[in-house]
Chains A and B, each alone.
Chain A
Amino acid sequence: MRQLRYIFILSLSALIATAQEDIFDLLDEETESTQYTYATFKGTKLLNGQTNETPGKGVLQYIISHRFGSFTDEYLYNFFGLDNAHIRMQLDYGFTDRLNVGIGRSSVLKTSDAFVKYRALRQKTGANAFPFSITLYSAFNYRGARYTDGIDHYMSDRLSYHHQAVFARKFNENLSLVLAPSIVHWNLVPGPEDPNDTYHLFIGGRYKLNNRIALTSEYAFSSNHSYGSGATEERFHNPLSVGVDIETGGHVFQFHLSNTRAMSDPLWMAQNPYSAANGSLFLGFNISRVFTVKQ
């Protein structure tokens, strides 16, 4: 009887031992490591607006953008607006995985621009998890187009600024959203009553259809919708765009339909004269190409 009891206890302890020691369980008992969320968006830009992404260290990026003529402007005669294309070129470089600096030139008001973009915080999971990314973005713009008001303008009149904090979150493999409070400052506005600073809230998102194709959309709320009043009033409309991202290796193609035509930041966000309700819709695209300059 006693023997039996011992044997019972022994076999029980052996059972417990084997149950505890499937050696492969040890593989999963990993101390949790921090994992940065990658590829919240395919591009550094969503359509016109910024995403949290930067090109990465040692990567040179070239973006060429076109915005075609309006649907309301002799659309077929102008070959779907292609005959009236505006263009913007951008060249930017990732000095580190966080810091991105670039320059651009747009045909709308012959605007030149320069920007700095910095990934302040990155979304991460695991140990030290953080639910979203924060990227800071500042651009300054120089209007190259001649003024037609007959006034001799200072060089500083031509400058405008755009500062933004980009909050982005990748909710899952397919859905990512971006929210970016923004300030635009114009050194020169038409009248003394008109605000030099305007405030904007940019929202956007993407939904991946498969590994290479995603639907995108963006919109921006604005604190100011007009300059002046009465007969000389200039009305502005909130920008709305819908598009599709197609990624092929080192290229990202972004095609979209939008009620904006300008491509430098303050213009499309703060002074968009076109309203979709009036039929002012434009086709456009961005194509980005990256080159790894330094490995």
Chain B
Amino acid sequence: MKNIILTALLLSSTFVSAQQYLTREARLDFDAGSPLEDIEAFTESGSAVYDANTGKIGVQVLMTSFQFKRALMQEHFNENYVESEKYPKASFKGTYNEGSVAGGLTIHGITKEITVPARLDQEEGNYVLVTSFDITLADYEVKIPSAVANKISKTASIQVQATLKNTSR
């Protein structure tokens, strides 16, 4: 009898690990444009993970994977603003709790605690994450030269859309 209980317990611990959801194709959009200049980019190669047991959720993206309409803008984004060589990745690590996520957002090597509304819906055995929020560029020490200050928004709006699949399947 004891053995059965113990085996059941052991089995349940493997079930725990089966509650992890993952994607490597998360779509992230950002917009830091102004009436003078469109500054938009997206990537479809972000990573996102979610643990349905603990509520832990994480998103990570390579800065150089962001696609801009203009090649030069993309170069400036990586070279002058987010300094992708020094800080190749941006990430969010936190927990999901009833319509919002809270945790540390790391951009440009700087981590800030944020809490933003997010939707995480179960669809056909997958989790679909949708969130959009604004960040203040100065918080992450992204420097904007005064010469172009009126072309670049002080805040960037970020959208995340990801369909996370169960890792055990």
Q: How far is the CB of B6 from chain A (nearest CB, A)?
A: 5
Interface segment, one of B27-35, B64-72, B110-118: B64-72
Contact B24 A35 (CB under 8 A): no
The complex places the Cα of A35 from the Cα of B74 at a distance, in Å, of: 14
Within 8 A of A (CB), among B1-56: 2, 6, 9-10, 13-14, 16-17, 20, 22, 24, 45, 47, 49-51, 54, 56
Given contacts A23-B56, A38-B78, contact A250 B49 (CB under 8 A): no
Q: A55-B71, A290-B72 are in contact. Are A24 and B13 (CB under 8 A)?
A: no
8 Å CB interface, A234-256 against B: 248-250
> In the complex, are the beta carbons of B72 and A59 less than 8 A apart?
yes
A151 proximal to B (CB < 8 A): no
A295 touches B58 (CB 8 A): no
Question: Contact between A38 and B79 (Cβ–Cβ < 8 Å)?
Answer: yes
Given the interface pairs A38-B79, A39-B78, A39-B79, the reply to whether A27 lies near B60 with Cβ below 8 Å is: yes
Chain A residues with CB under 8 A of B2? 3, 6
- Check B51 against A23 for contact (C-beta < 8 Å): yes
Pairwise interchain contact A10-B6, C-beta atoms closer than 8 A: yes
Query: How far does the Cβ of B72 sit from chain A's closest Cβ, in whole Å?
Result: 6
Residue of A nearest to B59 (CB): A27
A97 adjacent to chain B (CB < 8 Å): yes
Mark contacts of B61-97 with chain A using CB atoms, 8 A cut-off: 1 yes-contact digit, 0 otherwise: 0101100011110111011100101100001010000
- Chain B residues contacting A173 (CB-CB under 8 Å) are 85-86
B38's nearest neighbour on chain A, judged by CB, is: A295
CB contacts (< 8 Å) of B50 on chain A: these are 23
* Chain B residue with Cβ nearest A211: B80
Task: Determine whether A153 belongs to the interface, using a CB cutoff of 8 Å to chain B.
Answer: no
For residue A246, give the distance in angstroms from its CB to the closest CB of chain B. Answer: 12
Closest A residue, CB atoms, query B76 = A249
Interface positions, chain B 113-145, Cβ under 8 Å from A, are 145
Please tell me which stretch of A13-21, A80-88, A134-142, A190-198 contacts chain B, meaning at least 4 of its Cβ atoms lie within 8 angstroms of it.
A13-21
Contact B78 A295 (CB under 8 A): no
A17 proximity list for chain B (CB < 8 A): 13-14, 16-17
Number of A-B contacts (CB under 8 A): 89
Residues from chain B with a CB closer than 8 A to the CB of A23 are: 20, 49-51, 54, 56, 58
Residue ID in chain B nearest A16 by CB atoms: B13
B166 to chain A, nearest CB (A): 13
| CB closest chain-B residue, reference A24 | B58
Q: Which of A249, A250, A292: most chain B Cβ within 10 A?
A: A249
- Which chain A residues border B148 with CB–CB below 8 Å? 249
Residues of B within 8 A of A30 (CB): 24, 47, 60
Return chain A residues, CB-CB under 8 Å to B65.
Answer: 33
Please pick, from B22, B45, B60, B69, the residue contacting A33 in the complex, using a CB distance under 8 A.
B45
B6 (CB) vs chain A CBs: closest residue: A6
Query: Quick check: A26 and B76 within 8 Å, CB to CB?
Result: no
Of all chain A residues, the one with the shortest Cβ separation from B78 is A38
Q: Which of A84-112 contact B (CB under 8 A)?
A: 94, 97
Query: Which A residues are closer than 8 A to B by beta carbons?
Result: 3, 6, 10, 13-14, 17, 20-21, 23-24, 26-28, 30-31, 33, 35, 38-39, 55-57, 59, 94, 97, 172-173, 211-212, 248-250, 290, 292, 295
- B residues apposed to A, CB below 8 Å: 2, 6, 9-10, 13-14, 16-17, 20, 22, 24, 45, 47, 49-51, 54, 56, 58-60, 62, 64-65, 69-72, 74-76, 78-80, 83, 85-86, 91, 93, 145, 147-148, 167
A to B CB contacts below 8 Å, 7 in the list: A17-B13, A21-B51, A23-B49, A23-B54, A26-B167, A31-B24, A55-B71
| Given pairs A33-B62, A33-B65, A212-B80, 20 additional interface contacts (CB within 8 A) | A3-B2, A6-B6, A13-B10, A20-B17, A21-B16, A21-B51, A23-B50, A23-B51, A23-B58, A26-B20, A26-B58, A33-B45, A35-B62, A38-B64, A55-B71, A97-B71, A173-B85, A211-B80, A248-B145, A292-B72
